Amino acid sequence: MNHRGDFIDKEGFMRGKRILIATSLATVLACVCLTLVLVSPVIGQDAKKLYGDRCALCHGSGGDGKGVIMQTAPFDAEFWKKSDDAAIAKVIVEGKGRMPAIALSPEEAKAVIEYMKSSFKK
């Protein structure tokens, strides 16, 4: 009888261990999903709004350089030839020449660059 009891205890222990592992994995997965939702890069309308609020005043709503505050070089073929995403992000967050640094997170800067590429790159 003791052997059967030992087997049941081991079986119960193993079942409990599997449940604990499954619960832990489910918790980690839920945390990852929640993090992706809450901290994911701004996309779509948010990136368009960021560009409109923080960039269009100088660069123009169409990326043509015809801003309300000042005129800048357009986001034309030449701009895209000489600029990669990392260089654009650096200028956005650090500033360069007449362009001041813009307080954006790396995710926001990336989203704005993706918006610019999808809207202005030809």
For the chain, how big is the Rg over CA atoms in Å?
26
pLDDT of residue 104 exceeding 80, the answer is yes
3-7, 50-54, 55-59, 94-98, range with the lowest pLDDT = 3-7
Q: Which residues pair with 96 in a beta bridge?
A: 99
Pair (113, 53) in one structural domain: yes
pLDDT, tens only, 73-97: 999 999 999 999 999 999 999 999 9
Between 4 and 34, where is the model more confident?
Answer: 4
Alpha carbons 41 and 23: distance in angstroms, whole number? 29
- Contact (CB, 8 A) for 31 and 20: no
Tokens of 50: 């960021």
> Which range of residues forms the domain containing residue 63?
45-120
CATH number at residue 111: 1.10.760.10
Q: For the chain, how many structural domains are there in total?
A: 2
Residue range 17-42: average pLDDT?
Answer: 59
Regarding pTM above 0.75, the answer is: no
Pair (18, 51) in one structural domain: no
